[in-house]
Structures are given as C-alpha cells and as structure tokens.
Structure 1
Amino acid sequence: MFGVDESSEAIASLGERADERHLDVSGKVVNLTELDIEPQRYRIIVAYTALDHVDAAAGERLAKAMMAGLELGGYLFAAVFLADDPGCTGRGGGVSETAAYVRHYYRQGELRDQFSG
C-alpha cells in the first residue's frame, strides 16, 4: 500500500502506525497537483477528501490520472466536500477540521460527472 499527503506529519504518522502493526505501507509527501500516477498500476485508489483540496481544474486532471492509474477491473473510491457542507459557508455546526484547506466544494453530481467522462 502506498499513500500520499501534502502533510509531512501525516506521512510520518502513517509510517509509525504501519511499523507498529507490521504492515507493508509506505508514504510520500507530495503536492497533489504534482502527483504522477503510473498508468494501470493500482487495483484500488482511494481519494478521501483529496480532490477538493485542489482547484477545480487540478481536480479534473487528477481525476483523469486516477482513472488511468487503475488496473483493468480496478476500483476507485472518492469522497469530497459538497457545496451544501457547513464548512462551505462557515456557518452551522459540524464543520470539518479540514474545511480550511478545501479549495473546491463540489456541486451535486459534479464528482460523478468528473469520473464518467
């Protein structure tokens, strides 16, 4: 398993937890807009609140690279913050601690459209 994050603290924590559990997991600190995904390399790609941490154009490019990075029959799981999320307006309860880092709040159906093209 291989993980990426823009936070060196997150990658260090990943390494420590993997070592504690004797898991074959590695990570790399990388700016998502500069991430190079090898074509047809992965059986599964998980992008949990990653695409919304870059602007819309970069998210589109990253989504295409993720799709190209899947092996034949591979799976992709993506979750993003939506425009109706409390963090989008800064009002209401339940705002995520990562809301300040969101660069693009997705509209309903936008993520589906991004991966169906």
Structure 2
Amino acid sequence: MTIFTLILAGLVGLEHLGIMGLEMFAGPKTQAKALDMRLNFVKLPNAQIALANQGIYNGALGLLIISSLFFFSGSPLAAVLRLLMLFVMIVATYGGFTATKKIFMIQLLPATIVFILLWL
C-alpha cells in the first residue's frame, strides 16, 4: 500500500465530509443544483429532513475513512479501507442508478480506484 493510495483514500473521506456539508448545511438552491433535483422538491420540509439524514451517513463514512488512516496500519488498515471503499462503491452504484448519473464519476470512480490500488 503506497502513500499515493493512502492520500487518495483520504480524499475519498474528505469528499464524503463535503457531501455531508452539502446535504446538511447548504441552501436549497445549491442542493438542488448539486444533486440534480428540482428546487421545489428540495425546499420541502421532508426532503430537507431526508437530505440531512443522508448527510449524517456520508459524514460518518467520511470520518471512518479518515480516522482509519490514523488508527490502523499495515494489513488491518488495508482490510478496513477495502471494506469502506466497497461500501462506497455499493452505495454509489445504487445512487448512480436511482438519483443522478454523475454519482458514478464523483463517488464510484474514486472509490473503485482506491479499492483496486489496495489490492496491488
């Protein structure tokens, strides 16, 4: 496992913290544009609750990825990162098919690259 792979894994973690910020704290216009949703939908109270809830999950995932870089090393780190990247890949695949296709590039591709590098 190279330093390059660890940096990419950290960037995937930071990306998920950024997604959390977007889903929990950004204004409806920003959310609608970034998430390819209609503004009138994003403004609905239930949509805001759902986005905030989704943001908590993305934040937890980002925090897990980043904290694993500090709490593990060697084989345990590789195993934890593989599991977390696999989880991102599964969730991003579902999101790409159900929410917006750009999730394939924004979330699935980086996690897949890290996942592959972790096996080399």
Indicate the structure with greater helix content: 2
Query: Relative to total residues, which structure has the larger strand share, 1 or 2?
Result: 1
Higher relative CO (Cα under 8 Å, sequence separation at least 6) belongs to 2
TM-score between the two structures when normalised by the length of structure 1 = 0.27
TM-score normalized with structure 2 length: 0.26
